[in-house]
Amino acid sequence: MNIPLETILDTERCILRIPKPEDNNCVWTASRQPGFTDGMTWDPPKTQEEIEENRQKLLERWKSGIDYGFSICLKESGECIGRIAMRKTEKDAVWNVGFWLHPDFQGKGYMTEALACITDWTFDVLKASSIEAEHATWNTASGALLKRCGFTHTGHNPEVPEEEYVLKKP
């Protein structure tokens, strides 16, 4: 599937768009917060150059159709406040969502807007049959968010440890 890099998704207070170099500072400052990357699938970047390298890799994955990563930006100011991505799984028509929000913007409903928006887009545009998600067991806020957005808890993986969720096509 060929999704243009210029794709912009709209919520009430945010836009979701391809990450730009000016968004790298959001990644840097968020990842400097103690415990921020605990339980995530990525380690905090060691340098700001590493963030740009990762952004470039994200663009390549986007072009290949296996990963659509978006910066979450405030409509009013354009400021980047987090990231959300849909990644193709090995299962046919099943995608996996990952997300994070800068600690300065958590608890204000921004991620609820972004997650609802990207799941609708994934069903409509990517023709997903279902969307999977995981979160670290201790991260109960992510579990509450997933449930709020219609995901069903499907299990606990003690090896990681993480909780697993699924959202089926409406």
Q: With residue 133 as reference, give the H or E element that holds it.
A: strand 130-136
pTM: 0.93
Domains of the chain: 8-168 (3.40.630.30)
Task: Note the pLDDT of residue 45.
Answer: 86
Pairing status of strand 130-136 against strand 94-101: parallel
pLDDT at 147 over 80: yes
pLDDT at 32 over 90: no
Contacts of 9 (CB under 8 A, 6+ apart): 15, 16, 17, 70, 117, 118, 121
Q: Which of 157, 151, 156 has its CA nearest to residue 115?
A: 151
Least confident interval from 8-17, 20-29, 33-42, 52-61: 33-42
15, β-bridge pairs: 10, 73
In the chain, the percentage of residues whose pLDDT exceeds 70 is: 98
Separation between Cα atoms, residue 140 and residue 16, nearest integer Å: 24
